[in-house]
Amino acid sequence: MKSTLIVLAQSLEQPRIVKRISQKTKEYKSIYVYGFTRNVHSIENHEVIGGNQQVTIKIAGQLKNGKYLERIFTYLKLLIIIYKKHGFSKKNVYVFGLDLRIFSSFLFNSQIDYEISDIVWLYHGKTKRNILRYVDNLLARKSRKVVFTTRSFYKGYYDKVKEDKVLIEENKLETYGKVKPIEKVKSDKVRIAYIGAFRYPKIIENLLLTVSENKNLILNFYGATHGELIKKIDKATMSNTNIFYHGPFKNPDHLERIYSDNNLNFVVYDNLLENEKVAMPNKFYESGFFNIPIVCATNTYVGQRVLQNKMGWTIDTDYKSISNFLNHISIEELIEYHQEIKTIDKSHFIT
């Protein structure tokens, strides 16, 4: 085994990050994790690695959404902490995300592995996007290895990175032996699960309106958000007997219970955003493992995968499309797809 690995992570609440650190314990004797908490998460997912004697966790601060000036001071504090602990000797570093990849450039004498699970500069305007794209690709080429969670990121936006540097590590489910597939779905009503971060206000509004108009549908929200959107969800739960908000959850501990209470996974993301067009959300792998049919947005890579594997449907994101789909889907169709998914080898969905 190699000696020491330094991990830089934006949020230790992200299951993907926790999973990757856990995997690295098989390669390194000691792992020092320097991470942050986020003001939209509070479920302590990183406890999974906290009990591992190979892993030392240092929380460097909290990253607040939109507070970028505060982040600079937090990063400076982290830089001092790392140099005090590890000095200027040779370092192996594993980095999540562009901001920390930029930060890692100030860690001299380092071999850096860089994981890309979202292309953040795709959300910006043309000028800022072009600058960040150049910086990101430059840093990717200078990295020892670049880990993509989907090949579509590499082929679409980083094809100048040499193939021998590239690793594709899809965001598959890590069960830790805590959960198992669901063998029989509920068949009383159409039970819709919206799981994870609530990021697309208009789509969620369309979903809330659709369900509020049809009491034969049940909608369950699991996860966290902030601002006006959570207020709208709370308001909908108070004024409707078929809409529920269950709050943050622990991954993977709570997933079997969540999926067993539902028979349709709603993963309709904004297909006008370029990142969403090519991303592979972990909900695809969760649906595949738990045998729960999934609906995604049209014109997305994840939607193509859903159709290819006969796991569900794709729809447009407007109110009419969402309403038409949910008001016409039958329990028989959900059970049919549930049975189809059960036949798929689960190694496609878990690490």
Could you tell me if 117 and 201 lie in one domain?
no
Structural domain containing residue 226: 190-348
Higher per-residue confidence, 27 vs 65? 27
Q: What is the pLDDT of residue 25?
A: 95
Q: For 83-107, what is the mean pLDDT?
A: 96
Q: What is the pLDDT of residue 322?
A: 98
Residue 340 to residue 39: CA distance in whole angstroms:
39
- Does 180 map to a domain? no
Could you tell me if 342 and 245 lie in one domain?
yes
Number of domains in the chain: 2
* Contact (Cβ atoms closer than 8 angstroms) between residue 220 and residue 244: yes
Where do the DSSP E strands lie in 12-71? Answer: 28-38, 55-63
**330-335 contacts at long range (C-beta below 8 A, 24 or more positions apart):** 331/187, 331/189, 331/190, 331/263, 333/293, 334/185, 334/187, 334/190, 334/263, 334/264, 334/293, 335/185, 335/187
- Does 275 map to a domain? yes
* Contact (Cβ atoms closer than 8 angstroms) between residue 293 and residue 190: no
Prediction pTM value: 0.92
Report the share of the chain in percent with pLDDT over 70: 95
- Does 175 map to a domain? no
Q: What is the pLDDT of residue 49?
A: 76
Q: Residue 76's domain is classified under what CATH number? A: 3.40.50.2000
- Does 181 map to a domain? no
- Does 337 map to a domain? yes
- Does 176 map to a domain? no
Could you tell me if 26 and 144 lie in one domain?
yes
Give 48's pLDDT tier (boundaries 50, 70, 90): low
- Does 296 map to a domain? yes
Could you tell me if 145 and 286 lie in one domain?
no
**Cβ atoms < 10 Å from Cβ of 85:** 12
Of 168, 202, 237, which closes a domain?
168
Give 35's pLDDT tier (boundaries 50, 70, 90): confident
Could you tell me if 121 and 38 lie in one domain?
yes
Could you tell me if 265 and 127 lie in one domain?
no
Give 231's pLDDT tier (boundaries 50, 70, 90): very high
Q: For 335-342, what is the mean pLDDT?
A: 98
Q: Which two tokens stand for residue 39?
A: 């003001």
Coil, strand or helix at 239: helix
Q: For 256-277, what is the mean pLDDT?
A: 97
Residue 319 to residue 341: CA distance in whole angstroms:
28
Average pLDDT, the chain: 93
In this structure, of 13-27, 31-45, 244-258, the range with the lowest mean pLDDT score is: 31-45
* Contact (Cβ atoms closer than 8 angstroms) between residue 322 and residue 206: yes
Could you tell me if 242 and 205 lie in one domain?
yes
Q: What is the pLDDT of residue 64?
A: 67
Q: What is the pLDDT of residue 45?
A: 60
Residue that the structure tokens 């159409």 belong to? 190
What is the secondary structure of 263-329 as a DSSP string? SEEEE---TTSHHHHH---HHHHHHHHHT--EEEESSSHHHHHHHHTT-EEEE-SSHHHHHHHHHH-
In this structure, of 12-16, 19-23, 91-95, 300-304, the range with the lowest mean pLDDT score is: 12-16
Could you tell me if 94 and 157 lie in one domain?
yes
Residue 259 to residue 172: CA distance in whole angstroms:
16
Residue 85 confidence (pLDDT) above 90 = yes
One-letter amino acid at 3 equals S
Residue 40 confidence (pLDDT) above 60 = no
* Contact (Cβ atoms closer than 8 angstroms) between residue 156 and residue 150: no
Could you tell me if 155 and 6 lie in one domain?
yes
Residue 134 to residue 346: CA distance in whole angstroms:
38
Q: What is the pLDDT of residue 72?
A: 82
Could you tell me if 164 and 292 lie in one domain?
no
Could you tell me if 123 and 210 lie in one domain?
no
In this structure, of 43-52, 176-185, 237-246, 304-313, the range with the lowest mean pLDDT score is: 43-52
Coil, strand or helix at 197: coil
- Does 24 map to a domain? yes
Could you tell me if 109 and 195 lie in one domain?
no
Residue 46 confidence (pLDDT) above 80 = no
pLDDT in tens, 109-147: 999 999 999 999 999 999 999 999 999 999 999 999 999
Of 104, 137, 168, which closes a domain?
168
Q: What is the pLDDT of residue 227?
A: 79
